[in-house]
Chains A and B, each alone.
Chain A
Amino acid sequence: MSYGFVALYAALTVAFGILPTLYAVYLAFTTGEGGFAGLDNFTKVIGDFRFLPAVGHVAFYLVIWLVSLVVLVTLLALVVHTIRWRWLSSTLRLVFYLPGALAGASSVLLWLFVLDPTASPVGGLLRFLGLDSFVQVIVPGNLPPIFAIIAFWTGAGGWIVIMYGALNNISLEVIEAARIDGAGPAQIAWRIQLPLLRKWISYMGIMSLAAGTQLFVEPQLLSQASNAVVPNDYSLNQLAYQYAFQQNDFNGAAAISLLLLVIALVLSAFFVMRGGLFETD
Chain B
Amino acid sequence: MTTRQVPRPGTRRASVSGWSGRTIMAVVVLVFVLFFAIPIVWLLLASTKSARGLLVDNPFAPGSLGGLTANSEALFGFGEGEVTTWVGNSALYAVGALVITLIASIPAGYAMALTRFRFRRLLLILTLVVMLIPNTALVLPIFLELNTVGLIGSPLSVILPMSFFPFGVYLTYIYFSTSIPRDLLAAARVDGCREFQVFTRIALPLAAPIVALVAFFSFVQSWNNFFLPFVMLPSSDGYPIQVGLTSLLASTPAFNPSSAGTQSIQLPTLALATVISVLPVLIVFLFSQRFLVAGMTAGGTKE
Binding site for B on A (CB under 8 A): 1-6, 8-10, 12-13, 15-17, 19-21, 23-24, 27, 72, 75-76, 79-80, 82, 92-106, 109-114, 116, 118-123, 134, 153, 157-158, 161-162, 165-166, 169-170, 174, 177-178, 181-187, 191-192, 195-196, 199-200, 206-207, 210-211, 213-214, 216-217, 220-221, 224-227, 237, 240-241, 244, 250, 253-254, 257-258, 260-261, 264-265, 267-269, 271-272, 276-281
A79 & B126 in contact (Cβ 8 Å cutoff): no
B: contact size bracket: 35 or more
Q: In the complex, what residue of chain B is closest to A206 when comparing beta carbons?
A: B132
Q: Any chain A CB within 8 A of the CB of B92?
A: no
B285 & A98 in contact (Cβ 8 Å cutoff): yes
Task: Identify which of B13-21, B65-73, B76-84, B179-187 touches chain A.
Answer: B13-21
Closest Cβ–Cβ distance, residue A239 to chain B (whole Å)? 11
Contacts of B60 in A (CB 8 A): 121
Contacts of B256 in A (CB 8 A): 224-225, 227
With the chains together, A160 CA to B208 CA distance in Å? 27
Closest Cβ–Cβ distance, residue B87 to chain A (whole Å)? 13
Q: Any chain A CB within 8 A of the CB of B190?
A: no
Q: Which 5 A-B pairs have the closest CB atoms?
A: A5-B111, A9-B108, A20-B141, A268-B132, A2-B117
Contacts of A118 in B (CB 8 A): 55, 254
Q: Any chain A CB within 8 A of the CB of B260?
A: no
Contacts of A267 in B (CB 8 A): 132-133
Q: Any chain A CB within 8 A of the CB of B233?
A: no
B117 & A19 in contact (Cβ 8 Å cutoff): no
B258 & A121 in contact (Cβ 8 Å cutoff): no
Interface of chain B, main secondary structure:
helix
A16 & B142 in contact (Cβ 8 Å cutoff): yes
Q: Any chain A CB within 8 A of the CB of B150?
A: no
Pick from A113, A182, A269 the residue with the most CB of B within 10 Å. Answer: A113
